[in-house]
Each structure stands twice: as structure tokens, then as C-alpha cells.
Amino acid sequence: MTQTSSIDPQLTSRPTRTSGRIARFLRRNEGLHSYLLMSPTLIILTIGVIIPCLILLVISFWTRAGIGFDTMPSLANYARGVNEPMFGILLGRSFKISGIATIATIAICYPMAYFVAFHVHRNKMLWLILITLPFWISYLLRVFAWKVILGFEGVINSSLLWLGWIEAPLEFLLYSPTGVIITLTHAWAAFAILPLYVSLEKIDKSLLVAATDLGDGPVARFFRITLPLSMPGVIAASFLIFIPTTGDYITPALLGGPDGMMIGNLIQAQFGAINNWPMGATLAIILMLWIAAVAVAFLYLTRLAQARIA
């Protein structure tokens, strides 16, 4: 494009005279031109993401004083975050719930992604749309649907009672970590399918043929070729589910009860009812640091595992 557009500007039919020189300069500097086009997006994301996070970081060093803030930097909130067991418990529980939900989602979605990648030959697009469609339906409504299902007088309990299979409603379903895990698994399944599917679809079929020719059965073929080659998809899916779910607010708020409350609920409470913004900011920062640490550790471990296999 740069070569062809160096055409004589006199020939162009609708040149804007004043901006002609700038336009020519930009055309010659494609990188600059691209950044200029991207700049509105980048500026908005800077204002909406980077600056707010920096402010959050600053506020996390403040302390609450009456109804205002004491802007004297201090580590008091971080000390509280480390010393008071409640914060550690909620953080640990968030990671545990998200971790289990992530593993469950991938275990459930992997066969489905495998099916679409290897056994669907026509209407692949239809299948992918069918699987990912629920992800676009209101998250709030999907979580609410599970409240309806898992409730004390909900779909599961009332059905089981009606059928006479149980005497009293099962209590562990709603307002418990179990309920949160079930709901998160369902809600994020559609999201996990795509990276899994992409990594499976990319696998060179001739490798599978080669393995078969060399005497591998279906099981050996799966564990020696398919699974290792689809690991990037598994890793991507793990991140895509684990990171957002640790900070989830809606699911634990609607279904968690006191035992299923997660760190997101506490952060919200600090900005809401408890009205201690600096503490809320500190918790948000601690959560992000932990997410980063877990992500790095996870990446490092998978690299190590891959290096050992290779």
C-alpha cells in the first residue's frame, strides 16, 4: 500500500488540500498511522483501566478517618489484610472455589470440544453457536436460574420430594460453596469451549495417522498426541475461567450464603455498606497480586511439565 499510494497527489480525485501533506506523511509512516487510528481506544482504556487502577493503588495506602480519608500513606490496611484471618480465609476460599470450578469446567468441556473438533464434519458453525450462545445470555439470569434450581423449595428438592426419593429438602445445595461451584461451572462452560476447540482443531491430523501407523491404539494416541498438543488450549481456558471467577460477585452473593461468600463480596461491602474504601482498595490490590502470582506459578509449572515431557 505504501508503494502504490505514493501516486502523484494531483491525480487523486478528492484530496483534501489542507490535510494532504499530513496524509502523505502518515501514509509513509504506517506504524504511526496505525497508532493514530488506535489512539481513541487506547486513550479510553488508559482513562478507564490504567488510571483507575493506579488510583486504587494510591487509595489502598490511605486509611479511613471518620467519613473521610486520612491520605497519609500507611501500610495499615495491608497489615490488616495479612493479620486478620477473615481476609485470608475469604481469599483462600475464593481460590478454592474458582480452582474447583475451573477444573470441573475443563473436564466437562474437553470431551465436548473434542467431539466438535473431530467428530462433527458438517454444520460445525451451528454447533459452535449452540454451545457459545448461553454465554451471551444475561449472567444475572443464568445465576438466578440456578437459585431457582438449587433452592430449599427449588426445582431439585421439590422434584425429589414429589418423587418420594427424599424425606426432607437437601440443604447443602443452596447457600453453600457447592452451589457456587455448580453455578460457576455452568456459567463459564461456553467460554471454556472455544480455546479448547481451537487447540484441538489445529492438531495436524497426519500426526494421528502416523501414530496409528506406528501401532498406537486410540488411548495411546490420545495421551501421546492429542492431549499434549491441546495443552495450550487447556491452559488458555484455565486462565479465562479462573481469573474472572475469583473476583466474581453475583454468584456468591445470590447463592453463596455466609459459607459461600467470596472475596468479591467483601470488596463490594467495603465500598458499600462497610464504607471503608481504602480497605476495599487494598483487598482489590491483594486479589490482583494473588491472581498474578497464581498465574505466573501456573505458567511456570506448565512450562516445566512440558519441558520434562519433550
Site for other proteins in 69-98 (CB under 8 A): none
- Residue of 205, 195, 193 whose CA lies nearest to 127: 193
CB-CB contact of 148 with 183 (8 Å): no
CB-CB contact of 95 with 231 (8 Å): no
Least separation in angstroms between residue 239's CB and other proteins is: 7
40 interacts with other proteins by CB under 8 A: yes
Q: Tell me the C-alpha distance between 167 and 154, whole Å.
A: 15
Total residues binding other proteins (CB under 8 A): 108
Stretch binding other proteins (CB under 8 A), from 79-87, 195-203, 223-231, 300-308? 195-203
231 interacts with other proteins by CB under 8 A: no
- Residue of 41, 171, 188 whose CA lies nearest to 100: 188
> Closer CB to other proteins, residue 74 or residue 159?
159
> Closer CB to other proteins, residue 230 or residue 308?
230
190 interacts with other proteins by CB under 8 A: yes
180 interacts with other proteins by CB under 8 A: no
What string of H, E and C letters represents the secondary structure of 87-129? Answer: HHHHHHHHHHHHHHHHHHHHHHHHHHHHHHHHHCCCCHHHHHH
Q: Among 21, 51, 72, 223, indicate the residue that binds other proteins (CB under 8 A).
A: 51
Stretch binding other proteins (CB under 8 A), from 78-86, 190-198, 223-231, 299-307? 190-198
The 1-30 contact track toward other proteins, x by CB under 8 A, reads: x--xx-x---xxxxxx------x---x--x
Residue type, 62: W
> Closer CB to other proteins, residue 100 or residue 207?
207
* Cβ contacts of 249 within 8 Å, gap of 6 or more: 262, 264, 265, 267, 268
- 228, with CB counted inside 10 A (0-12, 13-18, 19+), is middle
Site for other proteins in 114-173 (CB under 8 A): 114-116, 118-119, 121, 124-125, 128-134, 136-142, 144-149, 151, 153-155, 157-159, 162
Least separation in angstroms between residue 41's CB and other proteins is: 4
Q: Tell me the C-alpha distance between 107 and 101, whole Å.
A: 10
Q: Among 65, 72, 209, 289, indicate the residue that binds other proteins (CB under 8 A).
A: 209
Least separation in angstroms between residue 300's CB and other proteins is: 19
Find the helix or strand (DSSP H, E) in which 70 lies. strand 68-70
